Structure 1
Amino acid sequence: MSKITPSPELAAVVRRWNLAVQNQDQAVLMNMLSKSEHLRYQGSADGECWSGTVFRDGFADHVREIPEFDWDEHSLEAFECGEVGWAHCSATLTFASNGNSTPHRFTFVLNLEDGIWKMVQLHVSNPMSNLEKIGVEHEALNALVEAARIGFQQDQSDGIASVMFTDIADSSELTRKLGDHEWADIISRHLELAEGIIVSHRGRLVKSLGDGTMSIFTSVQDSVDAAVNLQRRNASIDTAKILRLRIGIHTGEVIQKDEDFFGTVVNKAARVTDVSGPNEIHVSDVTRLMLDTDPNGWFGPPKPVLLKGFGGRQTVYSLNWT
Structure 2
Amino acid sequence: MSDPFTPSPELEAVARRFFRAVRQRDGKAMRNLLSRSAKLRFIGTAPNERWSGNSLRDGLEAHFNEAPAFLVDEETHGEAFEAGDIGWAIFERSIELQGNPIPVDFRFTLIFTMEDGAWKILHRHASVGKPNADTHGVEHRALDELAALASISDLPETHTDIVTVVFTDITDSTTLAATLGDRRWTEIVQRHLTMIEGCVTKHSGQLVKSLGDGTMSVFPSATVALQAAMSIQQTLARGHQEPRLSVRIGAHTGDVVHSGKDFFGTVVNKTARVAAISGPDEIRVSHATRTMVGTAKFTFTEPLSVPLKGLDGEHLIHKLEWQT
With the length of structure 2 as denominator, give the TM-score of the two structures.
Answer: 0.51
Any conservation in 1 of the 2:160–2:258 contact (CA below 8 Å)? Answer: yes
Alignment match, 1:305: 306
Change in CA separation of 1:152 and 1:188 when aligned onto 2, cut-off 3 Å:
closer
Alignment match, 1:289: 291
Any conservation in 2 of the 1:162–1:252 contact (CA below 8 Å)? Answer: yes
Alignment match, 2:281: 279
Change in CA separation of 1:260 and 1:153 when aligned onto 2, cut-off 3 Å:
closer
Alignment match, 1:213: 215
Q: Hey, what's the Cα distance between the residues in 1 that align with 2:242 and 2:178?
A: 18
Bigger radius of gyration: 1
Any conservation in 2 of the 1:162–1:251 contact (CA below 8 Å)? Answer: yes
Out of 182, 185, 188, the residue aligned to residue 183 of structure 1 is: 185
Change in CA separation of 1:268 and 1:153 when aligned onto 2, cut-off 3 Å:
closer
Any conservation in 2 of the 1:234–1:240 contact (CA below 8 Å)? Answer: no
Q: Give a deviation string over 1:97-131, Cα, whole Å, max 9, x none.
A: xxxxxxxxxxxxxxxxxxxxxxxxxxxxxxxxxxx
Structure 2 counterpart of 1:321, which letter? W
**Do residues 257 (structure 1) and 291 (structure 2) align?**
no
Aligned-residue RMSD, C-alpha: 1.8
Identical-pair percentage: 46
**Do residues 238 (structure 1) and 240 (structure 2) align?**
yes
Distance apart, 1:289 and its partner CA: 0.5
Q: Hey, what's the Cα distance between the residues in 1 that align with 2:168 and 2:155?
A: 30
Any conservation in 1 of the 2:157–2:259 contact (CA below 8 Å)? Answer: yes
Structure 2 counterpart of 1:291, which letter? V
Q: Hey, what's the Cα distance between the residues in 2 that align with 1:236 and 1:167?
A: 18
Alignment match, 1:319: 320
Q: What secondary structure is seen at the aligned counterpart in 1 of 2:218?
A: strand
Structure 2 counterpart of 1:258, which letter? G
Structure 2 counterpart of 1:192, which letter? T
Out of 173, 176, 180, the residue aligned to residue 175 of structure 2 is: 173
Q: Which has the higher contact order (CA 8 A, sep 6+)?
A: 1
Q: What secondary structure is seen at the aligned counterpart in 2 of 1:185?
A: helix
Any conservation in 2 of the 1:207–1:215 contact (CA below 8 Å)? Answer: yes
Q: Hey, what's the Cα distance between the residues in 1 that align with 2:248 and 2:212?
A: 14
Unaligned runs of 5+ in 1: 1-150
Structure 2 counterpart of 1:180, which letter? D
Alignment match, 2:166: 164
With the length of structure 1 as denominator, give the TM-score of the two structures.
Answer: 0.51
Q: Give a deviation string over 1:82-108, Cα, whole Å, max 9, x none.
A: xxxxxxxxxxxxxxxxxxxxxxxxxxx
Q: Hey, what's the Cα distance between the residues in 1 that align with 2:178 and 2:221?
A: 38
Distance apart, 1:152 and its partner CA: 9.7
Any conservation in 2 of the 1:283–1:318 contact (CA below 8 Å)? Answer: yes
Alignment match, 1:52: none
Alignment match, 1:204: 206
